[in-house]
Structure 1
């Protein structure tokens, strides 16, 4: 298997027929057929449904197509790095649904100035799925919380370490964190993410019994409910509006609890410099809670 065969496979998928792909890769249609036949011999399975005209990729062919695109992209990046060319290509970024995701667009805009030839593509999903996609090479990196299962072949480094706070409407001014949580209706963060488990674990450790009025699965919605005066909640400091309607906050936890958000990526990558710059830009955008790479 060589890159010429993989380029031909991609060309067929993009242009629909062997003859159009031949024009794209500057080969004759018979040479394209020979390359595909050799590729099928090497992988040991047919890659096309040949009972149709024109032939179409079967399931095995579609699987190889995805891998071929990744391999060809990596080859181009490595060649560019060796030749000292400007960084090009696409940086595929995964991110969980977190209040910290608001930092990402601002960091990407900043990176565009330094890497004008790079395309950025964002995917939002669950931590477990994103980590699997990084491991498989479908994503270059993923922004996930601490305490998730990161395989040993990947690395995770925090760019944000911020405190959790009890947030309550302005009429709760002067109340302690415990009083806010026990005397006011409680808005519980209910989601299958590490942050929710971190909050519930500390509440249990402190033996704080709340009067739940709602269970909400996004931090942004929790904050909106607090602003409206519905009750108190526990949220990351970054989620508390710094202007507009006033919210009273108190540190949560004894000692105060912090959560960390970081980047998981493969240990070695041709895009390492680009990802390092993204990490440090995210740390800058995070303000006093940012954790830049040394």
Structure 2
């Protein structure tokens, strides 16, 4: 009987489902549809000839075979990353200047940078976070060697498209709102593409609105939402205890996705290797 050829993509999907606690959040993290994630899990189960998950009420939990496979899957993915690091630029030295859109810094990026640094002790990382427009402008002015930029429009992407994130309306759990009064908004300060997307969507409807809380801090933003001051627009990854996706329940307008762009100078020491690590660990905007 031929041995199965286990795809690292399937293994990455499997570990994402476990880490995110379900198929929906895993799909958001991996920039895939829920049906694609389900299909990939079924393919992996077919390759292995075992069931990895079982139903427990409304939840899907690991089977004993799934528990066993999870440990090996993590080892295989880690080994792949180590191999990539070992054969590329391990003796590189110098400074790597990185610009990152603010909303991407809450994702897997810090752990990616830590892994990169372990394999490249001679590279000095210089990471700056800023609003997307500023990161893009500074990259064009050659102030960064690598940039991760969040875009509102697909046509704005000049470099490599890593994926996209749907936007959702987030409010406190059980939030109620009547359309005969303005929708209270909790927003990040200008310039912010989430703010722009929010106001653009509302202005295309008859819904009136008012800003009740404006801040530069994501932590402060979500604290205001949880406290019930108003609603905001972010991605699925921003949902936390005490909040929920309120868009369809309250009849709020549909929102466009945001796009994650990677731009870098391939001849700068360390850039190509870091780009490979980023591609293998999907980022998530918050």
**Same fold per superposition (TM over 0.5):** yes
Q: Check 1:170–1:85 CA distance in 2 against 1; reply closer, same or farther (3 A cut).
A: closer
Is the Cα–Cα contact under 8 Å of residues 89 and 269 in structure 2 kept in the other structure? no
Partner secondary structure for residue 224 of structure 1: helix
1:246 to 242, 258, 273: 242
Q: Check 1:126–1:276 CA distance in 2 against 1; reply closer, same or farther (3 A cut).
A: same
Cα offset for 1:250?
A: 2.9
Partner of residue 55, structure 1: none
**Inter-partner Cα distance in structure 2 for 1:223 and 1:276:** 30
Matched, 1:219 2:222: no
Cα offset for 1:144?
A: 1.9
**Inter-partner Cα distance in structure 2 for 1:164 and 1:279:** 22
Cα offset for 1:223?
A: 0.9
Cα offset for 1:157?
A: 2.5
Is the Cα–Cα contact under 8 Å of residues 187 and 232 in structure 1 kept in the other structure? yes
Matched, 1:121 2:126: yes
Matched, 1:88 2:93: yes
Is the Cα–Cα contact under 8 Å of residues 164 and 251 in structure 1 kept in the other structure? no
Matched, 1:197 2:193: no
Q: Deviations over 1:102-152 (max 9, x none)?
A: 22212211223443432221122344443343334331012222158x99x
After the TM superposition, which residues 251-290 of structure 1 pair with which residues of structure 2 at under 5 Å, given as runs? 251=247, 255-266=254-265, 269=268, 271-283=270-282, 285-286=283-284
Q: Deviations over 1:215-249 (max 9, x none)?
A: 334433221101122222222222222xxx42121
**Inter-partner Cα distance in structure 1 for 2:94 and 2:158:** 22
**Inter-partner Cα distance in structure 2 for 1:109 and 1:85:** 15
Partner of residue 13, structure 1: none
1:109 to 108, 114, 127: 114
**Inter-partner Cα distance in structure 2 for 1:84 and 1:161:** 30
Is the Cα–Cα contact under 8 Å of residues 266 and 272 in structure 2 kept in the other structure? no
Cα offset for 1:198?
A: 1.7
Partner of residue 168, structure 1: 171
Greater gyration radius:
1
Q: Check 1:181–1:216 CA distance in 2 against 1; reply closer, same or farther (3 A cut).
A: farther
**Stretches of structure 2 lacking an aligned partner (at least 5 in a row):** 1-87
Is the Cα–Cα contact under 8 Å of residues 166 and 180 in structure 1 kept in the other structure? no
Q: Deviations over 1:229-278 (max 9, x none)?
A: 2222222222222xxx4212134775442112322334765544224224
**Inter-partner Cα distance in structure 2 for 1:181 and 1:278:** 49
User: After the TM superposition, which parts of structure 1 deviate over 6 Å for at least 4 consecutive aligned residues?
Assistant: none
Q: Deviations over 1:171-192 (max 9, x none)?
A: 32xx6xx858967633244421
Q: Tell me the number of residue pairs that the alignment of Structure 1 and Structure 2 aligns.
A: 194
Q: Check 1:194–1:213 CA distance in 2 against 1; reply closer, same or farther (3 A cut).
A: closer
**Inter-partner Cα distance in structure 2 for 1:194 and 1:84:** 36
Cα offset for 1:162?
A: 1.5
TM-score, structure 1 as length reference: 0.54
**Stretches of structure 1 lacking an aligned partner (at least 5 in a row):** 1-82, 290-294
After the TM superposition, which residues 179-194 of structure 1 pair with which residues of structure 2 at under 5 Å, given as runs? 185-194=184-193
